[in-house]
Structure 1
Amino acid sequence: MSRRFIFLSVLLAAFSGTTVGHAQDADASGTWLTQAGDARVKISKCGGGICGHIVWLREPMDTATGQPATDSKNPNPALAKRPMIGLPLFSGMQPASPNKWSGQIYNADDGSTYVSSVTVTGAESLRVEGCVGALCGGETWTRAGR
């Protein structure tokens, strides 16, 4: 199974400002299709910020085993058995500025968590941006539903 969408998201993980407590003008809640179109992530409000979980994969089955895809790259053996569907991607995403949250993003390609930010850039678009080392960039996810 391709986990390119998660890997790209981590490569694009953001180093963002640390200002917290701003009111959010836009709502990130809903289901978002990754730029590659191979996954949908449901974002909801939680703990004063936002959380994101995988709710759909283009390739939900592990081609090697014929079983539902799992978080097999996670270094923790107990977590490596988690299904990809339902896997939390965001953690600690708190308001950073209007329409922007900062926190962490999980990369199922290597089982690591990285600094990240997401920004609502329009009614139908969410920007995931950032840097890992000297590599910086971003990708745009589109709203798939609320």
Structure 2
Amino acid sequence: MSILTPSKIAAALIPAAMLFATPALAADSIHGNWITQDRDAVVKISKCGATVCGRIHKYLVTPPNGVGQKDINNPDKKLRNRTLLGTAILTGFTPDGDIWRGKVYDPKTGKTYRSEVSLNSANSLKMKGCVAFLCQGQNWTRAK
């Protein structure tokens, strides 16, 4: 008969704890710099307070009005004078299993959509914007 000692209990619990920790580690891997599908910008996804957000970090294609491009299509007239570079276009993202849910702002149209983000692989991110049950997706590539 085997006696359960604290070290045997700990040895049995560590693999179980690692099994439950794996989804959290996988979910964190959305953090980093991502090149948009149109290859016109890099979006930096990182922690923003209690949630995760994505900001326009760098332009790969200069916008029509230069790097100082303003948020001219924003429905809030007070925000139309803000510079897009550095603006959070992904906001309020929280994990839900392998998917992160939040909102995405499209500065080209000035519209905000319900959004889902998930990893296709370590270097490929699926970003969806949704209205009701209709969603459109893009594949973003991790910047090196």
**Aligned-partner Cα distance in 1 for 2:104–2:142:** 19
Structure 1 unmatched ranges of 5 or more? 1-21
Instruction: Return the structure number with greater helix share.
Output: 2
Structure with greater contact order relative to length (CA < 8 Å, sep ≥ 6): 1
2:67/2:85 contact within 8 Å kept:
no
Give the paired residue count: 121
Task: Report the CA distance shift for 1:95/1:111 in structure 2 as closer, same or farther (over 3 A).
Answer: same
Give the ranges of 4+ consecutive aligned residues of structure 1 lying more than 4 Å apart after TM superposition.
none
TM-score (norm 1): 0.72
**Counterpart in 2 of 1:6?**
none
Residues 18-66 of structure 1: per-residue CA shift (max 9 Å, x gap):
xxxx735241111000111111100012334311000112333434xx6
3-state SS of the aligned residue for 1:78? Answer: helix
**Counterpart in 1 of 2:123?**
124
Q: CA RMSD, aligned part only?
A: 2.2
Task: Report the CA distance shift for 1:109/1:29 in structure 2 as closer, same or farther (over 3 A).
Answer: same
User: What percentage of aligned pairs have identical amino acids?
Assistant: 40
- State the Cα distance separating 1:111 from its structure 2 match: 1.9
